[in-house]
Amino acid sequence: MSAPLRVGAVIITMGNRPDELKALLDSVARQDGGPVETVVVGQGVEVTGLPEGVRTVHLPENLGIPGGRNVGIEAFGRGGRDVDVLLFLDDDGLLERTDTAELCRQAFAEDPELGIISFRIADPDTGATQRRHVPRLRASDPMRSSRVTTFLGGANAVRTKVFAQVGTLPAEFFYAHEETDLAWRALDAGWLIDYRADMVLLHPTTAPSRHAVYHRMVARNRVWLARRNLPVPLVPVYLGVWLGLTLVRRPSAPALKAWFGGFKEGWTTPCGPRRPMRWRTVWRLTRLGRPPVI
C-alpha cells in the first residue's frame, strides 16, 4: 500500500486580517489525516503570533498574489517538491469541514491525471456561492461537481508535479487571471482540473472591484494571457469577445478608462514567455464546455 500523499498549505497575507488568519490556521490544523504543514507569506509585513509549527516567510514588499504564492511554493522545496499536494487558501477564508485535506488526498490518489482541484467558495452567513466562483460557463448549480478549465486562486489544491512540469504562477501578472494562465498550461500538458462542490472554503461575499487596480489589471492580464498561451488566430477572437462583454456590462466611465488603459498596456509591455497551446488542447477545452475564446 502506498504512503498517504503529503499535503502542505500556502497562505499569503498583508497582515490586516489577524483574527481571520488565526481562524483559518485553526481550521487547517483540525484537518483529518496526516498533519498539513503550513507556510504563511507576509507581503511587505512580518507576521507574528502564529500557532506553533506554522512557518512564516517575510517579504520586504508586496509581490502580488501570484508572486507571493510562488514564494510559498518554494518554501516547500523547488516547485514544492517536499510535498505532493499544496492547498492555496485566502487569509480571510475558513475550511468548513475537517475532511477537506483527506478528500484531496483521495482524489489525487485515485486519479493520477488530476492536477488541480478548485474548491467551492460559500458565504459563511448565507451559504450562497457567487456565480463567478463556479469556474465554468454553466454556473447556475454550484452544488454540481465537474471537470473544468480553470480554478479559483484562493481556494484550491494543486499536485506539485504540475509545477515541476509546467512552472509556477506568472508573477508578473500581480493580480488577476494568473490561475487561468497556469490552468491552460496544465491542460496543455495533459493534466485535468476538477471543481468539487464538497470541498468548501467559507469566505465573505465580496466584489472583485474592491481592489483599486481591478479594472486595469483585468484588462492588461487578459491580453497577456492571450499573447502567452493562445494560437495566433485565436488571440483577436478571444480579446474581441472580452471587449464586447466588457462594453455590454456598461462599466462606469472611470472604470472603462482604466480598462482601456490596461488593455493598451497589455499590448505594449512584455508579457513573459510565449508558449501557445496545441490545437488539440483548444479542442479539449471546447469539449469541456469552455473554448478558449471566452
Determine contact, residues 259/216, Cβ cutoff 8 Å. yes
Where b means 16+ CB within 10 Å and e means fewer, 82-99 reads: ebbbbbbbbbbbbbbbee
The pLDDT > 70 percentage for the chain reads 98
Q: Could you tell me which of 212, 149, 153, 155 has the C-alpha nearest to residue 183? A: 149
What is residue 209's predicted lDDT score, i.e. its pLDDT?
A: 59
pLDDT single digits (tens) 77-102: 999 999 999 999 999 999 999 999 99
Residue 229 reports pLDDT greater than 70: yes
Amino acid at 92: D
Query: What is the enclosing helix (H) or strand (E) of 229?
Result: helix 214-229
pLDDT single digits (tens) 58-71: 999 999 999 999 99
pLDDT single digits (tens) 156-172: 999 999 999 999 999 99
The pLDDT > 90 percentage for the chain reads 94
Mean pLDDT of the chain, nearest integer: 96
pTM over 0.85: yes
Separation CA 225–CA 275 (nearest Å): 11
What is residue 212's predicted lDDT score, i.e. its pLDDT?
A: 58
What is residue 123's predicted lDDT score, i.e. its pLDDT?
A: 96
